Structure 1
Amino acid sequence: MMSEFNNRVAAQRDILRVVNRQKWREELFGLASGAIDRWRNANQLDEGAELLILVRRAADKLFFLANKSQEQITEEYRMLSGEISNLIEQIRLAAMDHGARA
């Protein structure tokens, strides 16, 4: 289903755009675990940092959606899509908070 794929890609772009609005030593280049770990290390973020936790949670949900077969894309998909939208807003707030402290 192309629209679900487009929605996942758009959500990933939104997350990267929101996070990278702040000044970082190194931007977040993707939502794969290796990219997130690299970003965390480069910017010396604490493992318990709210922004890091939210980014990882959103990445996990997007990965889960990406691996659903078309038969499984139902109410659960819509529910997870809503959760991802909420996470993007939480990431936006956490990024702004981080930027205000930096």
Structure 2
Amino acid sequence: MSEFNNRIDAQRLILSIVNRKRWDEELFGLSKGTIDRWMRVNKIDSSGGLAHAIHEAADKLFFLANKSQEQVTEEYRLLSVEVSELTQRIGSIIASIS
């Protein structure tokens, strides 16, 4: 259950950081379709650093979600650290464009 809570908390934190900036439309989730729509509505360059970091974090969180029923492995821990680093990178990018 702790891994589930950590993933949900990480997703909420990413959404909270992204939505600190006033956008035409907030980011409501981390599915590919939701992110792509958000980028389109807010005219965000899909090849830019913000888009890349959000997609990468979403992919890693999706992978972690699929590993939740398995024993926590070193790979799981490393991905969790990578998600934390991506969250910080997203925060830095948002701060620079605010």
For the superposition of Structure 1 and Structure 2, which TM-score range results when normalised by the shorter chain? over 0.9
Give the corresponding residue for 2:81.
82
Aligned length: 98
Counterpart check, 1:22 vs 2:21: yes
**With structure 2 as the length reference, what TM-score do the two structures score?**
0.95
**Would you tell me which structure has more helix in proportion to its own residues?**
1
In 1: Cα distance, 2:16 partner to 2:68 partner: 28
Give the corresponding residue for 1:49.
48
In 2: Cα distance, 1:98 partner to 1:72 partner: 40
**Equivalent position amino acid for 2:92 in 1:** L
Give the corresponding residue for 1:31.
30
RMSD over aligned Cα, in angstroms?
Answer: 1.0
List alignment gaps of at least 5 residues for structure 1: none
Give the corresponding residue for 1:11.
10
**With structure 1 as the length reference, what TM-score do the two structures score?**
0.91
* Alpha-carbon shift at residue 72 of structure 1 (Å): 4.6
SS of equivalent to 1:45 = coil
* Alpha-carbon shift at residue 68 of structure 1 (Å): 1.2
SS of equivalent to 1:71 = coil
Percent identity for Structure 1 against Structure 2: 57
List alignment gaps of at least 5 residues for structure 2: none
Distance 1:69 1:25, change over 3 A: closer
